[in-house]
Amino acid sequence: MPGVNGIELVRQIRELDPDLPCIVVTGYGSPDMYPLGPQVGIDNQQNIHVVWDDGWQNVFYQKFDADANAMSGVFNVGNADTAASHVPAVTVDPINNYVHIGHEDYEYQCEDIVYDKYDQSQKCLVNEVAISGDVSSHCEHNTLTPDINGYIHFGPGSQARPSTEVQTAASP
């Protein structure tokens, strides 16, 4: 997109239609900061929610306003431990703006898929609930998608098992 980045494009789209859902995906990540690329969710106040991993051990979250000013510090998602956590995904539900994060974690067994939920003040409402806990749940990417009723559809996947199981968590 010559001359405009994804965040600016979302701002321009929202000026034309504030209710139009937008998904921002990037093909550019900094290997030393965002090995798998940051994942972005935008709430209905146009705040930007970003999750990323450091390539092995930690998943991080930060919230920005619509002008990309930090509204929170960077913090570690889930439990503070030495277990590997990676491949995060984020979405914001349309009902109450809860932030939903899914990622892979090696804390409980091996390659568990876990779920976390935060409110708009970054208060943790759900902390590291394992939704898949066997060695075959390994994922190379996660997808979180809200529906119009506030339910979150979670699809971990890999090249070996694209679009594996879909888990649903009621947000309201």
Residue-wise pLDDT for 68-96, tens only, equals 888 988 888 876 666 677 788 899 988 88
Domain membership of residue 127 (yes or no) is: yes
Q: How many whole angstroms separate alpha carbon 135 and alpha carbon 69?
A: 40
List the one residue out of 96, 78, 88, 87 whose CA is nearest residue 151: 96
- Give the count of domains, the chain: 1
Please tell me whether residue 38 adopts helix, strand or coil conformation: coil
Convert 117-141 to b/e letters by CB count within 10 Å (16 or more is b): bbebeeeeeeebeebbeeeebbbeb
Flag whether 133 is in a domain. yes
Domain containing 58: what range? 6-170
Q: What is the mean pLDDT of residues 45-74?
A: 87
- Given a cut of 60, is residue 123 above it in pLDDT? yes
For residue 75, being part of any structural domain is answered with yes
Task: Please tell me the pTM assigned to this model.
Answer: 0.70
Which of 102-106, 107-111, 155-159, 167-171 has the least mean pLDDT?
Answer: 167-171
The confidence score (pLDDT) of residue 15 equals 85
Q: What is the mean pLDDT of residues 40-57?
A: 86
Q: Is the pLDDT of residue 168 over 50?
A: no
155 vs 99: which has the higher pLDDT: 99
Measured from the Cβ of residue 67, the count of other Cβ atoms closer than 10 Å reads 9
Confirm whether 1 is domain-assigned. Answer: no
CB count in 10 Å sphere of residue 157: 17
Residue-level pLDDT at 50 = 93
115 found inside a domain = yes
Residue 85 lies in a domain: yes
148 within 8 A of 93, measured Cβ to Cβ: no
- Is pLDDT above 60 for 129? yes
